[in-house]
Amino acid sequence: MTILIKNGHVLDPGTGLDDICDVLIDGDRITEVEKNIETESDRVIDAGGCWVMPGFTDLHVHFRDPGLEYKETLATGGRAAVRGGVTTVCAMPNTKPVIDNGVKVREVMERAKRESLTNVIQLGAVTRGQKGEELADINGMAENGCHAISEDGKSVMNASLYRKGMKAAKKEGIAVFAHCEDITMVEGGVMNADEKARELGLPGITNAVEDVIVARDILLAKETGVQLHLCHCSTADSVKMLALAKEEGLPVTGEVCPHHFILSTDDIREDDGNFKMNPPLRSREDVEALREALKNDVVDVIATDHAPHAEAEKNRSMKLAAFGIVGLETSAALTYTELVEKGVLTPMQMAEKMSYNPARILGLSDKGSVSAGKIADVVIFDPQKEYVIDKNTFLSKGKNTPFHGRKVRGEVRCTIVGGRIVYEGGKTID
């Protein structure tokens, strides 16, 4: 099938193209990006007034499949992803059972090809069962395409074992995605340790819970030489340490989620489980530091940490609610509204942090760019569309978001995965 996208404003971090052009897709590849392409095609899409960007790659999602399908599945997560313009996701391994060997990685990725509209890269655990006692089958998982290992949902507290895992990942040429949390310091905390926590009578989580492990993991990456990616940075000191690591030339990257660069504990008006996430919403000073780090390219990636839960697990006190927020269907609009429109990021930086940089971190050289020869993963984004976020319209099984009712600008109009239109006009196309 051939698709001709006409009159769109192409934002391509791979080539630096920032202009109105046409894009021709033939089969699963982009074949031409030029002005005024005149050719016969099976489908013509008028993208006038819209941005044409490489499909977004989300390095951090929880699809809950296998074992927790009541929260999300490969199918429902895939539909949510393409509605949000996300053409590739990294699925975290804290499923039931934990993804800790090559067979499990292969099984999920083979099922995803049949069941999911988006590309799914299944990450593997660092330790067997995520128990922190012995290393997982890192070689087998790498051979089956996991691209990175992560103990996401927790940290490997045994530094010696973690260093061995890093060495194994380095040997296999894959990255380590780090959830930075010293579990010995959490002490039952459910939100940021500040005046708002005291006001609500809730136990707090200090910034040091994250920062101590960020420092440790950077030092271990320095020693082992492994590619380290810091997940969901939430504190001013975490991005300060990331900046220092980059200044030293270490192979360290980092991500920030929309909820952390938008919301602070000032936004928590009551004891509401939809505001419970890990790491927690921090202070306004932390939020400003994260925004500055995004602006200055200290932070490489915007990811969601999409973490769906059943309503009964979230519609309760923060003391009892599960940690997590969904984000696949709101990330692009929130990024545009809060960062691009407000001058924190340029449109090209948005494309870099949601498309190009994540693809580079994963080593996906044929993705993250709208240029001839690349895989035709493309998103058409309308930056003028205004609407109110309505969780009841989400395609994800999870509706757990504090952004319900928030007015935003910017909507995904069309998502193309591997040359196939999978989302258009508000509907997924199976």
Average pLDDT value for the chain: 98
- Mean of the pLDDT values across residues 104-130? 98
1-57 per-position pLDDT tens digit: 999 999 999 999 999 999 999 999 999 999 999 999 999 999 999 999 999 999 999
Q: Which residues pair with 247 in a beta bridge?
A: none
305 is catalytic: yes
296-314 per-position pLDDT tens digit: 999 999 999 999 999 999 9
> What single letter denotes the amino acid at residue 256?
V
Cα–Cα nearest to 199, from 264, 265, 261, 259? 265
CB neighbours of 299 closer than 8 A, spacing ≥ 6?
A: 233, 239, 242, 254, 255, 256, 290, 293, 353
For residue 310, the model assigns a pLDDT of: 98
232 is in an annotated binding site: yes
For residue 86, the model assigns a pLDDT of: 99
For residue 392, the model assigns a pLDDT of: 98
Percent of the chain with pLDDT over 90: 100
For residue 63, the model assigns a pLDDT of: 98
The overall pTM is greater than 0.85: yes
60 is in an annotated binding site: yes
249-292 per-position pLDDT tens digit: 999 999 999 999 999 999 999 999 999 999 999 999 999 999 99
Separation of alpha carbons 224 and 217, rounded Å:
10
291 is in an annotated binding site: no
165-214 per-position pLDDT tens digit: 999 999 999 999 999 999 999 999 999 999 999 999 999 999 999 999 99
Residue 151: pLDDT band by 50, 70, 90 thresholds? very high
259 is in an annotated binding site: no
47-91 per-position pLDDT tens digit: 999 999 999 999 999 999 999 999 999 999 999 999 999 999 999
224-234 per-position pLDDT tens digit: 999 999 999 99
323 is in an annotated binding site: yes
343 is in an annotated binding site: no
Q: Which of 22, 217, 305, 377 is catalytic?
A: 305
94 is in an annotated binding site: yes
274 is in an annotated binding site: no
For residue 48, the model assigns a pLDDT of: 98
179 is in an annotated binding site: yes
Cα–Cα nearest to 257, from 280, 283, 284? 280
CB neighbours of 174 closer than 8 A, spacing ≥ 6?
A: 138, 142, 146, 147, 148, 149, 227
For residue 328, the model assigns a pLDDT of: 98
63 is in an annotated binding site: yes
For residue 284, the model assigns a pLDDT of: 98
